[in-house]
Amino acid sequence: MALITKKIKGTEDVLPKESYKWQFVEDIMRKEAQNYGFKEIRTPVFEHTELFSRGVGQTTDVVQKEMYTFDTKGGESVTLRPEGTAGAARAVLEHSVLNDGLPVKASYFVSCYRYEKPQAGRLREFHQFGLEEYGTSDPIADAELICAAQSIFDRLQIKELHLEINSIGCPKCRGEYHKALRAYFEQYKDQLCDTCLSRLEKNPMRILDCKSPQDKKIAENAPKVIDYLCNECKEHFEKVKEYLDCAGVKYIVNPTIVRGLDYYTKTVFEFVTDFIGAQGTVCGGGRYDGLMEELGGQHVPSLGFAMGLERLLMLMDKQGIEIPKPDTCNLYIAGLGDKAKAKAFSLVKLMRESGLSAETDVVGRGLRAQMKYADKINAKFSMVLGDNEIEENKAKLKNMETGEQSEIPLDSEGFIVKFIQVFVDAQSEPMAAFLTKDKGE
């Protein structure tokens, strides 16, 4: 019988044999977020469309071309989130989280949705990890946020990933920059693509993001925003660099990094690699001091970043970074007959209650098939229970790697004590770590 449907184009399944990689990366991200004082926020997968129109920007490709927008039965226009920042900012404002004390530090894992051509590192459903910070204009916060991203990459042992930073100033000094940009691009109006022609009056900085080879070539000699910074923005950028230097974080000043929306201010940054082709940016962030006002709140200086999990995992694979596989099954118990099967079931439950992983047959296999399955799941030890073992209240515990066997009692207390002893004798590092933690040593 044929499948009634397959996955939608631009989406991917994460199968059990691969999910441990995602969990490993996510665990490191959660730990580093915690180390830097960030607490998790969870927001709905869809929001009112106007949130993204205001929070992402009417002139962006995301809003104009890529959002999944639909009307509800009640006639409301809603959109699947294309990114995580707008929803997090909305939640902070709506629930008055800023009253809890500043700065507010929020982290998130989100699935995002954009209708664009699927390619390596870019899907229509993708996943992001992000950090957002609200209520500080101090440049030390910019540097701290960058350090948090760097810490994650260091923990993941990612190589040849370079940090590029820039300042795009504030609305005050950016006004002069916009004038200079318009004057420059006016000379090339007959060569610009139709999209960039529309941007020329509305938002000339967006032309610098154009992917058209012709427009990119024209933009190479365009005025640089860093040359138009006011004194306050210059001082802020110098301080950010000073703090990064103090932290030993290497960076490159790239004056071509821009953001096309007015509420973005001052620091922008990207972590870039050459390992995964054109989709080389694995983390992007910056300061958006005007976003909260754009969403209807008071002025709250804010900043954040997001990194794509698919691209990150692709990069780790390209660099041959081995993600440790999770602990395998500690013990597989094969039961032969109803009494033995019931005893195996009770011992497996006892193992799990003691913080150990254990399996027994749940599909009605014979002994040979059960042992093949134990080998397939890489069980560290196995044990066979039959009528004789039940009557004598003891069985043989087999080390699946060495073949060595040990006698083990089947009463609850004696079983767990003996199993742990055998495990330690086998110098199992995962078990040694478990025991040390359990004893508080």
DSSP codes of every residue in 146-168: HHHHHHHHHHTT--S-EEEEEE-
φ, ψ (nearest 5 deg) of residue 355: 85, 20
| Strand order across the beta sheet in which 77-80 lies | 46-48, 77-80, 69-71
Q: Name the maximum alpha-carbon separation found in the chain.
A: 94
pLDDT at 410: 97
CB 77 within 8 A of CB 52: no
In terms of Cα–Cα distance, which of 134, 137, 84 is closest to 112? 84
Same domain, 92 and 236: yes
The DSSP secondary-structure symbol of 98 reads G
Distant-in-sequence, close-in-space partners of 423: CB < 8 Å, separation ≥ 6:
330, 380, 381, 431
In terms of Cα–Cα distance, which of 284, 231, 293, 232 is closest to 260? 284
On whether residue 176 sits in a domain, the answer given is no
How many CB atoms within 10 Å of residue 128? 22
Alpha helix (H) residue ranges in 354-409: 367-376, 387-392
Residue 221: is its pLDDT beyond 90?
yes
Same domain, 137 and 22: yes
In terms of Cα–Cα distance, which of 263, 264, 241 is closest to 253? 241
The DSSP secondary-structure symbol of 276 reads T
In terms of Cα–Cα distance, which of 48, 57, 99, 104 is closest to 78? 48
pLDDT at 59: 64
On whether residue 376 sits in a domain, the answer given is yes
| Strand order across the beta sheet in which 252-253 lies | 39-40, 104-113, 125-134, 302-308, 281-287, 265-272, 162-167, 252-253
pLDDT at 441: 43
The DSSP secondary-structure symbol of 332 reads E
* Average pLDDT of every residue of the chain: 93
How many CB atoms within 10 Å of residue 256? 15
The CATH number covering residue 55 comes to 3.30.930.10
Same domain, 255 and 346: no
On whether residue 221 sits in a domain, the answer given is no
Q: Which residues pair with 63 in a beta bridge?
A: none
Q: Which residues pair with 126 in a beta bridge?
A: 112
Residue 118: is its pLDDT beyond 90?
no
How confident is the model over 160-170, as a mean pLDDT? 96
Domain closes at, from 318, 343, 374: 318
The DSSP secondary-structure symbol of 380 reads S
Which helix (H) or strand (E) is 238 found in, with range?
helix 231-246
Same domain, 240 and 343: no
Per residue in 269-288, pLDDT tens? 999 999 987 778 999 999 99
pLDDT at 58: 74
Distance CA 212, CA 188 (A): 14
Give the chain's domain count.
Answer: 2
On whether residue 180 sits in a domain, the answer given is no
Which long-range contacts link 409-412 to residues 24+ away (Cβ below 8 Å)?
410/343, 410/347, 410/385, 412/350
Per residue in 34-49, pLDDT tens? 999 999 999 999 999 9
Distance CA 366, CA 134 (A): 61
Higher pLDDT, 349 or 432: 349
The whole-angstrom distance between residue 370's C-alpha and the CA centroid of its chain comes to 38
pLDDT at 77: 97
Q: List the structure tokens of 89.
A: 């900012």
Per residue in 361-420, pLDDT tens? 999 999 999 999 999 999 999 999 999 999 999 999 999 999 999 999 999 999 999 999
CB 184 within 8 A of CB 239: no
pLDDT at 427: 58
Q: List the structure tokens of 257.
A: 């990094």
**pLDDT exceeding 90 applies to what percent of the chain?**
83
Residue 354: is its pLDDT beyond 70?
yes
On whether residue 314 sits in a domain, the answer given is yes
Same domain, 163 and 275: yes
Residue 293: is its pLDDT beyond 70?
yes
Domain closes at, from 318, 341, 372: 318
On whether residue 423 sits in a domain, the answer given is yes
Q: Which residues pair with 174 in a beta bridge?
A: none
Residue with tokens 């989100």: 110
pLDDT at 440: 47
CB 130 within 8 A of CB 305: yes
Same domain, 107 and 37: yes
Domain coverage including residue 156: 16-170+230-318
Same domain, 364 and 302: no
φ, ψ (nearest 5 deg) of residue 352: -65, -40
Amino acid code (one letter) for 80: L
pLDDT at 426: 86
| Strand order across the beta sheet in which 331-335 lies | 358-360, 331-335, 381-385, 394-399, 405-409
How confident is the model over 108-124, as a mean pLDDT? 90
Domain closes at, from 318, 353, 374: 318
On whether residue 255 sits in a domain, the answer given is yes
Same domain, 264 and 351: no
Same domain, 289 and 404: no
CB 32 within 8 A of CB 145: no
pLDDT at 404: 96
Q: Which residues pair with 252 in a beta bridge?
A: 164
In terms of Cα–Cα distance, which of 110, 282, 124, 43 is closest to 51? 43
Write the Ramachandran bin of 403: left for phi over 0, alpha for psi from -120 to 50, otherwise beta. Answer: left
The CATH number covering residue 415 comes to 3.40.50.800
**Model confidence at 105, in pLDDT bands (50, 70, 90)?**
very high
pTM score, whole prediction: 0.91
pLDDT at 318: 95
On whether residue 347 sits in a domain, the answer given is yes
Same domain, 140 and 245: yes
Same domain, 44 and 129: yes
Distant-in-sequence, close-in-space partners of 62: CB < 8 Å, separation ≥ 6:
52, 56, 82, 83, 114
In terms of Cα–Cα distance, which of 392, 425, 434, 378 is closest to 406? 425
Same domain, 295 and 429: no
Least-confidence region, from 47-56, 114-123, 413-422: 114-123
